[in-house]
Amino acid sequence: MNNFSGQLRDFFLSTKVSLLRGNALRDPSSSVNATLVIFNGELIHIESGEKLSIDNKHSVNELAVASRKLLGSPNSESSVQLLLPSSEFVATRHSLPKVSKADLTSALQLQAENTYPSLDKELAVAFDVSERASNSETIALWMKQELLDNLFEAYKNQGLFLACVKPRLLALRAVENKIGFLETDDIGETLVILERDVVASWQQINKADLDQKETLHEWTEIIANYDRNAILEINECGQLANLLTESVNREYSYVPADALNIREKLEKGRKVIFAACFAALLLGLFSLPFVKQSFEFRTAAASLNASRSLSLNAREDQRAVVNFDNQWGPLNDFPEQSINEALFTLQNVISPERLSSIEISEGLIKIQGSSSEPQAILQRLEQDPLFTEVLFSRATSNARYYIDLRLSPVNFEAYMIRYFPDN
């Protein structure tokens, strides 16, 4: 029981550490259970396959209302991932040092004003440095922070939690032997080349610019630099539904600041509740051995009292037997020497020889006699189980022998030690 309590305490301690550490840094994008994608004037719910037509120039509020229609009644557990057209993002190439991603993100955002000097609005950035090779450049994708915040607020007003926003091309699972995607929609074309799920190249062009021969030629040359068989062309929403997955390119997810704040508040509340429950449980676990011991002690005491009451007569009889043994034991246990048996056995062993003297005292027998083979008599006595410690007490002379031996069943020494230890 104590081992089980210890194991249970260790389990909850490890569970508490993992929860308090893991939840504090939890990414809202990892809890997505509904994915919406915009493609050619349609809003598609990937999980159900349902879709709604929307205006290409829709507002964030119209998009949120359409999302509510697709997802149904508000659900506190709804966590939405919104996949936006590639035209909502722009890419820049940077040579970044080997430091933490948090430091790199801060550095890039500080350089946003120099990167886009004509844009006076705040930008959100996403990039992946987990698989980059040494001295390789990193592709950073930018979107308007205002759009990200407005989307979150609009979805919130519809009772939806917008966990993250992501370029729809970077939510696709690459097909075997494909190195990238060429997406064509009503707005333009986007070419994305991937290396181990990391963006190695991001090229895009507006559809209106393709009407110019020079621009079209330049765009065609860019595409020609790659093997067209290794590039998957995306030009309809059905392809998106078949290839979308949440498990790739999470580094390119944009998480609204308000989503992080809400998650932090929820995690703090969960931590407080968990800590209170854990403290109560831990207190119960630590007190469990003492409660168990107290219960066992009371049970044992009650059982002992009951046993004493039932065995009272037996204990009185036992005391009477012990007293009788103490009084009459010296007589009852006095060693029986069985002299008759000893004499008959000696006669059988020594025959046809005759003894001239025999003494028996406290199990010790001393015999004297004459024989032409005294050694043979000694050997026969040693082989008889009635006798032990057989030896010549004196040297033989003129065929006369002196032999001492003991009766093996008789132990006067043990008798004296038991009943007369002081003598």
Give residue 219's pLDDT: 92
**Chain segment 183-202, per-residue pLDDT in tens:** 898 889 999 988 878 888 89
Residue 225 lies in a domain: yes
Q: Could you read off the pLDDT of 100-122 as tens digits, one per residue?
A: 888 888 888 887 777 676 667 78
Last residue of one domain, picked from the residues 208, 239, 254: 254
pLDDT over threshold 60, residue 9: no
Give a yes or no: residue 6 inside a domain. Answer: no
Which residues face 93 on adjacent strands? 139
Residue 382 · residue 390 · CB < 8 Å: yes
Lowest model confidence (mean pLDDT) among 17-26, 118-127, 370-379: 17-26
- Torsion angle in degrees (nearest 10) through CA of 305, 306, 312, 313: 180
Reply yes or no on whether the pLDDT at 414 is more than 70.
yes
Please choose, from the candidates 102, 136, 138, 105, the residue with its C-alpha nearest in 3D space to the C-alpha of residue 123.
Answer: 105
User: Which of 204, 225, 254 is the C-terminal boundary of a domain?
Assistant: 254
The CB density around residue 85, as the number of other CB atoms within 10 Å, is 20
The confidence score (pLDDT) of residue 202 equals: 92
Q: Residue 390's domain is classified under what CATH number?
A: 3.30.1360.100
Residues 249 and 393 occupy one common structural domain:
no
Among 31-45, 157-171, 274-288, 409-423, where is mean pLDDT lowest? 274-288
pLDDT of residue 284: 73
Is residue 128 one of the residues assigned to a domain?
A: yes
Going by C-alpha positions, the residue among 119, 82, 96, 139 that lies closest to residue 255 is 82
Do the domain assignments include residue 245? yes
Q: Which residues pair with 1 in a beta bridge?
A: none
Mean pLDDT for all residues in the chain? 80
C-beta of residue 87 within 8 angstroms of C-beta of residue 188: yes
Work out the pLDDT band at 57, boundaries 50, 70, 90: confident
In a domain, 109, yes or no: yes
Q: Is residue 332 part of a domain?
A: no
> What number is the average pLDDT over the span 35-40?
89
Residue 333 scores a pLDDT above 80: no
Determine the average pLDDT of the residues in 27-52.
83
Banded model confidence at residue 309, pLDDT cuts 50, 70, 90: confident
302 falls within a domain:
no
Q: Measuring CA to CA, which residue among 168, 243, 170 is closest to residue 200?
A: 170
Q: Is the pLDDT of residue 22 over 50?
A: no
**Percent of the chain beyond pLDDT 70?**
86
Is 274 inside a domain boundary? Answer: no
Q: Domain span at residue 244?
A: 28-254
Higher pLDDT among residues 336 and 20, named by residue: 336
Mean pLDDT, residues 398-416 = 83
Residue tagged 């539904």 (tokens): 241
Q: How many domains does the chain have?
A: 2
Claim to verify: residue 66 and residue 159 sit in the same structural domain = yes
